[in-house]
Structure 1
């Protein structure tokens, strides 16, 4: 411990706010130990390149990035290196090229910032190629197991909450039902947190089924009390009342979540005749200045990751538990996909506030 090291850092998967704050923390802590930090460009694509694509990171370079959204290193969420799509349409295992890039750079360790999918790929590469890997969890979905916070989640909730705050006025002014569709992949953490904080009347998440007539009952109850509008927040992965997934397919044949809010708007209009409008927040949730909490968590994670390397403790991920940074094996962390528990405190809170949150079977 304590000897000069050369470490790499990369960001993988979808971008989010707080990534640059984590990079900054790693550089500050590592350079304070006299180490060299190489920022790998475009995630594993940078190690796959010939020669590997990287930037030597210095404190003065990263200091201004504390509040910047996105990632200064770039990222990718396409192209599994074990089945990498080639120009001719074939799939090729290019994992050894990435491993070779790591060793070509003479790295003593690699810090990977990513979600469960990215960390699973990085761990497989590490196991195969002798890469000393440390993981930092990031995802606006907050669905990585064994951590209360992942980088990016709090900012996404803040943005969704602000959207609800703004939609209140338009909904009230025009006596409308307004539906806000938010991200979350297959977990409803953003929807339930923002829904409570933003005063939504209905919160729909993938984990709990619902009925259209119960949503309409909620709208009628508000109307009977003289409240002429209603705010609904829905996670993109919510299914139809019949349990069907709602997706959109682009011209390349790729299927993505999308359309559940319009489905709900049509159903509500048919059921109760209410004038209904839809707002899809989309990638706005990923961008912008990171919230103070995301910056704090990112800073704590970055320092903890460097200290893991200093102690020679690899194949671990840093996590936030009980108001402190802990470490768990990466395999254990990514094995547990964290959805909203129907008995969760926020579920009980929403029901206690009179918010319609679906119907438990």
Structure 2
């Protein structure tokens, strides 16, 4: 069988581990030929093909990013895009496609599958908000990086008696904020799931600094917003592709806290630092497991499904079941963050 492979959306650590697993398992166990499409669905639509053999995946396990490149492109949303995808698959004699991506890429995968193409998807996103899987590739590395940043910021915050705000990624779900905030010992964690009251935050910080501490750490997800009816008005800032503008909520929150408390307040925006660099062992293992499961599913004739981690098991879930859904942070995890303030 000739299998196509692509990575779409934002890059994350662990993608190369998944690519490597697909190629090694596909060639070695099943005798398939695997070809890559550069730059996600755009490369498939344009016919931008590259070979993927064992020699192409040597020494990539510990590498961040994706050797295939990636792009934010959805063929079903582009005039003629889906037809171009089908034409490329026919010209290249591709019998099945494995796509690795987040919500947008997976939605595109479901549309391509509906067009009659055998498609198996693999979830990746540092936001960890893909519904149906306990973990997505890239999340563990992002949390590790964010936690280290919070650890480092603690020392300078305490030295200078400051309020330090750390903005992390998380458009619709605050998984990085919640987990890194708990692991790093932040005093305040703000996530999209629970709009915040700036007056309550200010009162908490003032009480803390009067009572027993001269510094505080606030971790805020980029998608966090103030609650309606509270004294802070704010509209989420978005870019040309609908992405949230990095630093917008962090800077605004910092200005509000500084003005209302008089405390020296500084902002650190981690941004794309969370996406880059060497994947953690957990992401290398998860990417490898998902890659093996994806090529096995293709070989078994599966289509319109996504690999998912459920507990300790890798299973397949229908793409139709995850459409339009976001896996949000459970209330008890956010409550744990509050309890440890």
TM-score interval, normalised by the smaller of the two chains: over 0.9
Q: Give the Cα–Cα distance (whole angstroms) in 2 for the partners of residues 236 and 247 of structure 1.
A: 9
CA distance in 1, matches of 2:307, 2:205: 44
**One of 277, 284, 292 as aligned partner of 1:295:** 284
Any stretches of 5+ residues in structure 1 without a counterpart?
A: 85-91, 356-361
The alpha-carbon distance between structure 1 residues 69 and 257, as it changes in their structure 2 partners (threshold 3 A), is same
1:59–1:179: structure 2 CA closer, same or farther, 3 Å change rule? same
**Equivalent residues in 2 for 1:82-93, closer than 5 Å:** 82-84=76-78, 92-93=79-80
Partners of 1:94 and 1:347 lie apart in 2 by 41
Is 1:332 paired with 2:321? yes
Instruction: Choose from 33, 56, 63 the match for 1:61.
Output: 56
What is the distance in 2 between the residues matched to 1:117 and 1:10? Answer: 14
Superposed CA RMSD: 1.8
Deviations 1:274-331 (A, max 9, x none): 1100011111111111111111111100000111112111111110001110111111
The equivalent position to 1:175 in structure 2, one of 161, 180, 184, is 161
SS in 1 for 2:58: helix
Instruction: Say whether the 8 Å CA contact 2:171–2:244 is kept in structure 1.
Output: no
Output the TM-score relative to the length of structure 1: 0.88
1:228 aligned onto 2:214: yes
Deviation at 1:265, TM superposition (A): 1.2
1:242 Cα deviation after fit: 4.0
Given that residues 237 and 257 in structure 1 are in contact (C-alpha distance below 8 angstroms), is that contact kept between their aligned partners in structure 2? no
The residue number in structure 2 matching 1:35 is: 32
SS of the aligned residue for 1:178 comes to: strand
Does structure 1 conserve the Cα–Cα contact (< 8 Å) formed by 2:76 and 2:111?
no
TM-score w.r.t. the length of structure 2 is 0.93
From 45, 49, 52, the counterpart of 1:48: 45
2:249 pairs with 1:260: yes
User: Is 1:279 matched with 2:268?
Assistant: yes
Q: Deviations over 1:168-205 (max 9, x none)?
A: 11111111000001111111111000000011000001
Q: Which residue is equivalent to 1:111?
A: 98
- Give the deviation of 1:248 after TM superposition: 4.0
Corresponding residue pairs, total: 336
* Alpha carbons 2:178, 2:189 under 8 Å: kept: yes
Measured after TM superposition, the shift of residue 81 of structure 1 is 2.3
Partner of residue 201, structure 2: 215
1-side partners of 2:273 and 2:264: how far apart?
25
